[in-house]
């Protein structure tokens, strides 16, 4: 699965400004809202924040996958954000999060949504991939890393 079909170059930032979970989620939703596949930015934001209340999406190893399925979406979108300093995201390993992938999907995209999350999870298990994403300088590099990971 090529993740680049869900993640456009203009849906990435290498310098997240938020200093807490809600601020980072808001920043990522604002970034994702640049996509024509998002019908309603506020609905998406509320859906992601509500999902995050259930259990943290900070999976550990400095990675988080905030996500939601909502009517606000016409298709699956991934927004990527990076924080050099790291954010307290209440991650499962209690460590700061540096790499964020906001995954937004339509309510009826159950299989595709899970496939995207599974692929990202698999890629992020590799310390080498995480290090490469921390060093990436351009959106093109990020897409290459995501698409070329074994």
C-beta of residue 51 within 8 angstroms of C-beta of residue 107: no
User: From the candidates 21, 67, 69, 130, which is the catalytic residue?
Assistant: 67
Pairwise CA distance, residues 76 & 7, whole Å: 9
Active site residue 98: no
For 123, residues 6+ apart whose C-beta sits below 8 A from its C-beta are: 3, 129, 145, 146, 149
Residue with tokens 């692929």: 119
DSSP-derived secondary structure letter, 34: T
DSSP character for 41? H
Helical axes 110-124 vs 127-135, angle rounded to 10°: 90
Count of CB atoms situated within 10 Å of the CB of 29: 25
DSSP state of 5: G
Q: List the catalytic residues.
A: 67
């Amino acid at each position: 699965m090529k993740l680049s079909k869900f993640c456009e170059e203009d849906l990435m930032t290498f310098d997240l400004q938020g200093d807490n979970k809600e601020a980072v989620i808001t920043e990522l939703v604002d970034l994702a809202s640049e996509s024509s596949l998002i019908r309603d930015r506020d609905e998406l934001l509320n859906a992601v924040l509500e999902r995050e209340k259930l259990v943290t999406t900070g999976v550990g190893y400095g990675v988080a996958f905030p996500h939601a399925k909502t009517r606000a979406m016409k298709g699956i979108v991934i927004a990527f954000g990076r924080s050099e300093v790291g954010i307290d995201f209440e991650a499962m390993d209690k460590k700061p999060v540096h790499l964020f992938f906001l995954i937004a999907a339509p309510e009826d995209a159950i299989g595709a949504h899970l496939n995207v999350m599974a692929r990202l999870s698999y890629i992020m298990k590799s310390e080498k991939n995480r290090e490469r994403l921390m060093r990436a300088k351009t959106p093109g590099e990020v897409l290459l890393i995501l698409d070329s990971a074994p």
